[in-house]
Structure 1
């Protein structure tokens, strides 16, 4: 509403403009926005006075109720009745318009609020749950362990009788990590082998992501000798990768001092690895490190500490095994000494075959079958352990669906174990496995590493011992 100027001259007027109201009444001057009322003394319409009770001179009291007279249509000159400076008719028209506007605003606000509430309710509604397939083991993005990492483990006992364990894997940055267990302190500690070798005179190392890992430990009292070795594949200038290894030569006195040895052992791409420390026939010698791998032509070969940098004669023909064949190597008794070795390899068309060391670096290539129904297309890797003071052995196979089955050597024959029962298992959808020679099992599952103990009286039962990492 525009402001109203009060003129105290002969012809007061108002600037109030209500075009829509004026257009709806017959008392409108064409081309004018002035509010008008009929004047009894003139045939023409006159402007409405804007003088109110505060502006107009007060008439002398004569006993006449002028407001009542105005209401009854009587005219007493300039003393016309006004409300807020407007004639009653215009005032009530304006009031009605204002009331309608207020009602419209209130109605619009309520409708807007209801619409907003409905919109909020729709936007915060719980969506239908989506059903997604379970991921393939080892293919999800991890933060602790490389999703394609393999696993290796070994154990040794010091002169005080304390047991030590090493578990190796790769982290998401491809670094080789070891977790070390000390039974005296009952604690796990962590070392980044790649980082420790990065500033050494022999390093750095460059393991292939997802490389097969193999680990063995020596605990010969002659010396005494305590060592831990881990093997892995590295890219090379040749078309095929080569096998290298890192040594921890003083695990008690200097557990952070690792040395690196590159190799000229050329391998089949993505070869799996298996290793064992072969004890000597006598008590006055150290023994040998024995490594099984697949060469460029697919033959399974054995390298040993006496001829480490050269390919030895193949022990399993390439035509007998599959590409990237799963391997496991376990020490065994050879007479009264732990000088024997048993090699398990993935055989065509679908079995775990046995190759036996018979002395003087001679091997019996086809020495029977350890486990039938082991399809190479659905098998990830093998692992092996010994039991009952080296007189028995257990070989297991990890399938692509995360399941584990195996076969037990009881001294006379292999007995199949169709399924391993993991007691108290937190997560058993394994993507990689490893075993030590004292019947301890390790598995990677759901970005974590778990430890189980094997029941020697019933090797189909593995009992959870705890989490290794993280």
Structure 2
């Protein structure tokens, strides 16, 4: 047994027993699983269309007050012959009343239309409705971003990029290097017919994904994690996830897995697939998150509900700490893990997996001068066949800086990342795959950049991912 200090001064016990990964074992035999599968035909979904109005901010007409009262002068009858009257009024008075009525009707109609459109706009833009208050038409303005990659047995590269649309639906963009095409799938829509019901990721939920490409049994999977509101009205959300157990052969087939993992509200998530040190086993899915006591915790596929291990003490990290989890070399095989977390007062701290489910909590500093108050998110990638690594931090002003691990002893700070040929670089969310590819949300679009591994201070534009 081991322990880490907690808020209350006492140790929190946790298990250091080694467990076996079973999440992917017999992936197509779900009769013993608590997961729910919904098959769907191969399909694509249309791009999101704006539900907002182009003239929401235009000046609205206002009704003008007009005196509608009129009188009839007795002089109209002085000649003894009453003039021709309309609705009991003299012609001149009738014209005045008619003009006033027309003005009032026009003002009421214009004001009603403007008010109705304004009300509809406010309703569509309300965060509680899951719409985007910034009038985005493609990507939720508060959406996070996550990405993963794997190479299949034929050598084709597959990429998955996840984010939320303005309705908070979970969207997947999938890249197939053989066809050189991006395909859009609305996972919220795909899961809606399930007996579980539609998934309901929180607007702006943290997102994390990983891909497996084990040589054992030609295993290829993609998993994505997100936070949902607790069913019992608990203010702290729970973590759920979706699995694509055959993302190449049946990319519309996803299974849902609920969880009872309680997280700190708005906590960030980090996930990695830890390779097995032999070819005859599956490996493990590892999730890092911040529990509501403030600890950074690690859990794995052997028992998502109970096997949670505190690896960084609450006193060492900031609230809603940014996280990144990267597979790394352990000896000559990619079986290690490096966890980057936001440390107090202002740095990226390193926690290292040292085997047998033991972690070295404080294994040095990755990057200094990273203020948690001005930091949105971390991301990480491997370089040069896993011998080097790059960790980056996104600032609230949209800028990105990082640190390069030289594979031996040191982290070299990169104060500023240059985005060559960049169309938009004021990023609101970022992600990286394990093959030195960077993704960022900027100006209602998702962009892809390739890291220059010889000079990782330069990212080169590869193209637009979405729309």
Q: Deviations over 1:126-173 (max 9, x none)?
A: xxxxxxxxxxxx973211000000000000000000000000000000
Q: Which residue of 2 aligns with 1:291?
A: 287
Structure 1 counterpart of 2:241 = 245
Bigger shift: 235-244 or 171-180?
235-244
How far the C-alpha of 1:311 sits from its partner, in A, is: 4.7
Residues 391-431 of structure 1: CA distance to partner in whole angstroms, max 9, x if unpaired? 10000000000000000001121000000000000000000
Report matched runs for 1:334-345 at 5 Å.
334-345=330-341
Separation (CA, whole Å) in 2 of partners of 1:311 and 1:195: 32
Q: Are positions 1:372 and 2:372 aligned together?
A: no
Aligned residue pairs: how many? 333
Q: What is the rounded CA distance, in whole Å, between the counterparts of 1:190 and 1:460 in structure 2?
A: 31
1:309 offset after TM fit, Å? Answer: 1.3
Contact 1:328 1:384 in 2 (8 A): yes
The answer to whether residue 442 in structure 2 is matched with residue 440 in structure 1 is no
2:427 aligned partner: 430
2:73 is matched with which residue? none
Question: Could you say which residue in structure 2 is the equivalent of 1:415?
Answer: 412
Tell me the TM-score normalised to structure 2 length: 0.70
C-alpha distance in 1 between matches for 2:333 and 2:385: 11
- 1:221 aligned to 215, 221, 225, which one? 215
- Which of 387, 391, 394 is the aligned partner of 1:391? 387
List per-residue Cα deviations over 1:158-208 (Å, max 9, x = no partner): 000000000000000010000000000000000000100011234421100
Q: Distance in 2 between matches of 1:139 and 1:391?
A: 43
Which one of 141, 154, 160 corresponds to residue 154 of structure 2?
Answer: 160
Q: Does 1:279 align with 2:256?
A: no
- Once residues 134 and 392 of structure 2 are traced to their aligned partners in structure 1, the CA distance between those partners, rounded to angstroms, is 24
Query: What is aligned with 1:362?
Result: 358
Q: Is the 8 A contact 1:272 1:326 kept in 2?
A: yes
1:206 maps to which residue? 200
Q: Which runs of 4+ in 1 moved over 6 A?
A: none
Residue 224 (structure 2) aligns with: 230
For CA contacts below 8 A with separation 6 or more, give which structure has more relative contact order.
Answer: 2
Distance 2:356 2:311 in 1: 13
Supply the distance in 2 between the matched residues of 1:387 and 1:235 (Cα, whole angstroms): 37
Q: Does the CA contact (< 8 Å) of 2:300 and 2:307 recur in 1?
A: no
Partner of 2:143: 149
Q: RMSD of the alignment, in Å?
A: 1.0
Distance 2:220 2:196 in 1: 21
Which SS does the other structure have where 1:223 is aligned? helix
1:332 deviation in Å? 0.2
Deviations 1:93-128 (A, max 9, x none): xxxxxxxxxxxxxxxxxxxxxxxxxxxxxxxxxxxx
Asked whether the equivalents of residues 301 and 311 of structure 1 are also in contact (C-alpha less than 8 Å), the reply is no
Against the structure 1 CA distance between its residues 388 and 203, is the aligned structure 2 distance closer, same or farther, given a 3 Å change threshold?
A: farther
CA deviation profile, 1:350-390 (whole Å, cap 9, x unmatched): 00000000001100000000000000000000000000001
CA distance in 2 between partners of 1:421 and 1:175 (Å): 32
CA distance in 1, matches of 2:198, 2:138: 22
Q: Tell me, which stretches of 5 or more residues in structure 2 are unaligned?
A: 1-131
- The aligned residue for residue 175 of structure 2 is 181
Aligned CA distance change for structure 1 residues 184 and 229 (closer, same or farther; 3 Å):
same
Give the alignment's TM-score, normalised by structure 1: 0.70
In 1, the alpha carbon distance for the partners of 2:300 and 2:247 equals: 22
Q: Which runs of 5+ in 1 are unaligned?
A: 1-137
Contact 1:203–1:259, Cα closer than 8 Å, also in 2? no
Which of 254, 257, 272 is residue 258 of structure 1 equivalent to? 254
Confirm or deny that 1:451 pairs with 2:440: no
Q: Which of 1 and 2 has greater Rg?
A: 1
